[in-house]
Amino acid sequence: MRAQNPQMRALLHAHLVKTGSFAGHSPHNAPSASTPNPAASPTPTSLRRAPQPRRRLLQLPHQRLLPAEPAPPSPLQPDAGPRLLPNAVTFADVFTVAARCSAGGREAHFVALKTGSCDDVFVGSSLLNMYCKLGLVPDARKVFDRMHERNSVTWAAMVSGYAGGRCGVEGFELFRLMVGGDECSPNEFVITSVLSAVSLPEFVQMGIQVHGCVIKNGLASFVAVENSLVTFYSKCECLDDAARVFFSSGDRTPITWSAMVTGYAQNGEPLKALRLFLRMQSEGVRPSEFTFVGVLSACSDMISFVEGKQIHAYLVKLGFELQAYVKSALVDMYAKCGNLDDARKGFEALNEACGVDTVLWTAMIGGYVSNGQEEEALALFVLMQKDCILPNNLTFATAFRACSSLAALEQGKQIHALALKYGFGLGIPLGSALSTMYAKSGNLDDCRLVFRKMPQRDVVAWNSIISGFSQNGFGMEALDLFEEMKLDGVEPDDVTFINLLFACSHMGLVERGWSYFKSMYDEHGLAPKLEHYACMVDILSRAGLLEKAKNFVESVPIDHRTCLWRIVLGACRKPQYFDIGAYAGERLMELGSRDSSAYNLLSNIYAAWRRWDDVERVRRMMKLRGVSKDPGCSWLELHNRVHVFVAGEHLHPEIVHIYTEVKKLVKHMKDESYHPASSLSSQDYLELHIDSSNEEELPLLASIGS
C-alpha cells in the first residue's frame, strides 16, 4: 500500500525509524514480489493499477511493506512468490498515523476489510479510535457495532469518542450497555472517559450514577478516577461534592490540586481557589501550568492585582511563563485588573519571544473590550490581520463584542465576512456574539437571520435575541421569543428575566412583569438579584405607581445601597411626585451617594418649591463630598466613520456647521410654540433632563442649552 499524502509518508517513515524497523535491511537485498493477477488479488478495485513493471519491496519486521521506487523488469527474476500482506500490528500503526494526519485512513480501512483483519480486536480498536479522533463518531460506532470481539480498550475508545464529540447521553448509554453486558467490566479508563462525556450540569445525575459504579467496583483508589470525579463535579457546579472527593483522596497529585483550584475559580469562588493554592504550596506540591491558569483566573475575578503579580513572579521562577495558556491568563489578569499598560507590555514581550499565538492575541483584544476600550480592541484586531495571524472563534466573538459596544455595524459586517472567509460557522459562542452585534446595531433582520441559522442555540443565544428585540422597542416579540424558548426546552437564567422585565417596563405591562418576577423563584428556582429588583422598580415608576415603588424599595431584602432610590428619584419629574422624589433624594444623601445627578435632581425639586435653604444645603453637601458631574458623551456612525460628541467640548471638526443646524432646530421649536413639559425654568429643566435622560441626547441638549 502506497501512501498518497506527503505528511502521511513522513509520519510513517518517522514511526518506522523510531521503532528501529529499518535496522539490517536495504532495498538492494530485500526479496522481490511480483504483481499478482487482478482476478485473484485481495486488493480492492480502487487500489488496483494498470499492469506495470515489478516493484522492489522493502521487507520489514512483522511483514510491514514499504514500496521502493519502480525498477525496470528483469528477465532473470520471474514472478514466483505471492504478495506479502500487512498484519494486525501494521494496520494498527497505519491507523494511528492516519488519525494524526487526517489522510489515508479510509483507504487503509478498505484494505483491512479485504484482508479480513478487521476481525482482530486489536485492529478494530485502533480503527474506531482513528475515526473518533477524526471526529467521525458515527463511523466509529458502526465499526464498534460490527466487531465480533470487544475488550475494555474498545469500550473506552468508543466512550471517549462520544466525550470528544460532546455526546454525553450517547456516551452514558454505551456505558450502561457495557455494565449490563458480560463482555468485560468497566475499568479506570472507561470510567474517566464516561465522566468526561457527562461533565455538564444537565448530565449531573448520570455522573452520580457513574460515581456509584466506581464505588461498587472498587475503582475509587485510582488517581485518574479521583481526578476525573473532581473535574466532573466542578464542571457540573457541584463544588461541595468536588471538595468532598478532593479532601477524601489519599493520593493527591498536582493534577488533582489543579482540578480543584480551577473548579473554584470557574464557579465564582476565587477566594477559595487562592486559599487552596496557598495550602498546596504549604504541602510542598509543585503546581503545573494548569494550576497557574486557574489561580490567575481567580485573581482576575477578584481584581487582585498584588496577588496576581506575586503569582506571576512565582511562575516565572518555575519556568512556566512561555506556556501558551499561562501567557494568555497573565495578559487577561493584568487587563481585568485595569492595568492595560502592563498587559500590553506583557503581550508585546511574549509575542516577540514566542512568535505567533492566537490565544495571546485574543486575550489582549478581550482585555481592551473588558475595560471599555473597544476602539483599541478593533485596532489590535486589524493589526492581527496585517501580521497574518489566523484568528479563532473566540477572537471573532470578542471582536463582535467590541462592535456591539460601539454600535459599529459596518465594521461588524466586515468582520462577519472575514469569519465566513476563514470558514467559521455560527456555533457557540460565535453565533451568539454575532446576533448580539446586529441587535445592538439596530439590524434586527440580520439578528433574527443569524439566530435562526445557528445549529445549536443555548441560553446565551436566546438571551441575545430576546435582549435585542426588547431594547429596540419590540417588547412583545421579545416575550413571544421567550415562550418559544420554553417550548424548545431551554431553561432560562437570571439574564433572561432581566430582558423580560426590561421589555415589560417599556411596554407598561405591570401585571405581566410581576408574573415574571414571581416565577423566577417559584418555577425556576432563581433568587432575584439587584438587577431584577431594579427592573421591578422601573416598571412601577414608569407606570406612575411611585408610592408602590417606594414601598417596594423599602421591602427589598438585599442590600441595594443607592441603586433603587436613584430610579425612584429619576421618575419624579412631575410636580405631583415631588414629595416622593424629595424623600428618595434625602435617602440617597443619607446613604452617601456620589452620583452627581441625584444631587442635581433633588436640588431642582427644592428649587421648584422655592426652598432655597434646602437648595443651598444640597449644593454644599455635594461640594463637601467632592461630587462632580461627568460630561455626557455619545457617538454615531456615518459613512464608515465614528463621530464622538462630549457635552461642553468643541473638538469636532464640523462643530461650526453642527451648531448652525442646532440653532435652526431651536428656532423651529420656538416657532412651533414648543415648551418643555415641566414647571421648572428652561435651564433647570435642561439640567434635570441632562442628568436623567438617555446618554444619546446629551450633546444635543447641551448645544440647545448654550
Q: Are residues 608 and 654 in the same domain?
A: no
Domain boundary among 625, 641, 676: 625
Q: What is the CA radius of gyration of the chain?
A: 34
- Pair 291, 277: CB distance under 8 Å: yes
- Residue 441 CB: number of other CB atoms within 10 A? 23
CA distances from 143 to 133, 439, 678 (A): 14, 46, 78
pLDDT at residue 280 in the model = 92
**Which CATH number goes with the domain that contains 592?**
1.25.40
- Domain membership flag for residue 310: no
- Domain membership flag for residue 68: no
pLDDT at residue 87 in the model = 77
Q: Are residues 604 and 661 in the same domain?
A: no
Provide CB contacts within 8 A for 112, sequence distance 6+: 91, 118, 123, 127
What is the total count of domains within the chain?
2
- Domain membership flag for residue 592: yes
CA distances from 589 to 537, 550, 595, 698 (A): 19, 16, 10, 25
Distance, C-alpha 133 to centroid of its chain? 23
Strands 65-70 vs 633-638: parallel, antiparallel or unpaired: unpaired
Three-class SS state of 344 = helix
Interior CA angle at 327 toward 325 and 328, to 5°? 65
**C-alpha grid cell for residue 384?**
492581527
**Per residue in 13-27, is it b (16+ CB within 10 Å) or e — as a string?**
eeebeeeebeeeeee
pLDDT at residue 14 in the model = 61
pLDDT at residue 19 in the model = 56
Q: Annotate 663-694 with three-state secondary structure.
A: HHHHHHHHHCCCCCCCCCCHHHHHHHHHHHCC
Residues 276 and 31: their CA atoms lie apart, in Å, by 65
Interior CA angle at 214 toward 211 and 219, to 5°? 140
**C-alpha grid cell for residue 282?**
504549604
Q: Are residues 621 and 645 in the same domain?
A: no
Q: Are residues 596 and 649 in the same domain?
A: no
Q: How many CA atoms lie within 13 A of 577 on its CB side?
A: 22
Residue in 404, 459, 405, 468 with CA at minimum distance from that of residue 428: 459
Q: Are residues 547 and 588 in the same domain?
A: yes
Note the pLDDT tens digit of each residue in 138-165: 888 888 888 888 888 888 888 888 887 7
Give, as one character, the DSSP assignment of residue 27.
T
- Domain membership flag for residue 269: no
- Please list the residues that pair with 70 across neighbouring strands: 55
Three-class SS state of 70 = strand
Residues 566 and 538: their CA atoms lie apart, in Å, by 10
Three-class SS state of 85 = coil
| pTM for the whole structure | 0.61
Residues 171 and 160: their CA atoms lie apart, in Å, by 8
One-letter identity of residue 325: Y
Q: Are residues 597 and 662 in the same domain?
A: no
- Domain membership flag for residue 615: yes
Residue in 185, 13, 208 with CA at minimum distance from that of residue 97: 13
Residues 34 and 55: their CA atoms lie apart, in Å, by 7
Q: Annotate 434-484 with three-state secondary structure.
A: HHHHHHHCCCHHHHHHHHHHCCCCCHHHHHHHHHHHHHCCCHHHHHHHHHH
Residues 689 and 307: their CA atoms lie apart, in Å, by 44
Q: Are residues 638 and 570 in the same domain?
A: no
Three-class SS state of 58 = strand
- Residue 435 CB: number of other CB atoms within 10 A? 31
- Domain membership flag for residue 602: yes
pLDDT at residue 577 in the model = 86
DSSP string, 629-649: PPPPEEEEEETTEEEEEETT-
- Pair 445, 459: CB distance under 8 Å: no
- Domain membership flag for residue 516: no
- Pair 444, 472: CB distance under 8 Å: yes
Residue in 346, 349, 350 with CA at minimum distance from that of residue 337: 346
- Domain membership flag for residue 550: yes
CA distances from 627 to 599, 621, 693 (A): 9, 9, 19
**C-alpha grid cell for residue 353?**
519571544
Provide CB contacts within 8 A for 251, sequence distance 6+: 223, 226
Residue in 462, 389, 446 with CA at minimum distance from that of residue 412: 446
Residues 600 and 585: their CA atoms lie apart, in Å, by 10
Q: Annotate 78-97 with three-state secondary structure.
A: CCCCCCCCCCHHHHHHHHHH
- Pair 32, 77: CB distance under 8 Å: yes
Distance, C-alpha 263 to centroid of its chain? 16
Residues 461 and 431: their CA atoms lie apart, in Å, by 7
Residue in 391, 331, 329, 330 with CA at minimum distance from that of residue 358: 391
Give, as one character, the DSSP assignment of residue 501.
H
Residues 38 and 72: their CA atoms lie apart, in Å, by 20
- Pair 105, 130: CB distance under 8 Å: yes
Q: Are residues 620 and 546 in the same domain?
A: yes
One-letter identity of residue 678: S
Residues 141 and 131: their CA atoms lie apart, in Å, by 9
Q: Are residues 549 and 601 in the same domain?
A: yes
**C-alpha grid cell for residue 196?**
468526561
Domain boundary among 592, 625, 658: 625
Question: In terms of residue numbers, what domain contains 639?
Answer: 632-666
Intervals of the chain under pLDDT 70: 1-84, 102, 353-356, 630, 640, 675-706
φ, ψ (nearest 5 deg) of residue 592 = 75, 35
Q: Which H or E run includes 65?
A: strand 65-70
pLDDT at residue 688 in the model = 40
User: Is omega for the bond preceding 429 within 30 degrees of 0, making it cis?
Assistant: yes
Give, as one character, the DSSP assignment of residue 391.
P
One-letter identity of residue 80: A
One-letter identity of residue 226: E
Q: Are residues 574 and 604 in the same domain?
A: yes
Q: Are residues 577 and 610 in the same domain?
A: yes
Q: Are residues 545 and 586 in the same domain?
A: yes
pLDDT at residue 102 in the model = 66
pLDDT at residue 354 in the model = 65
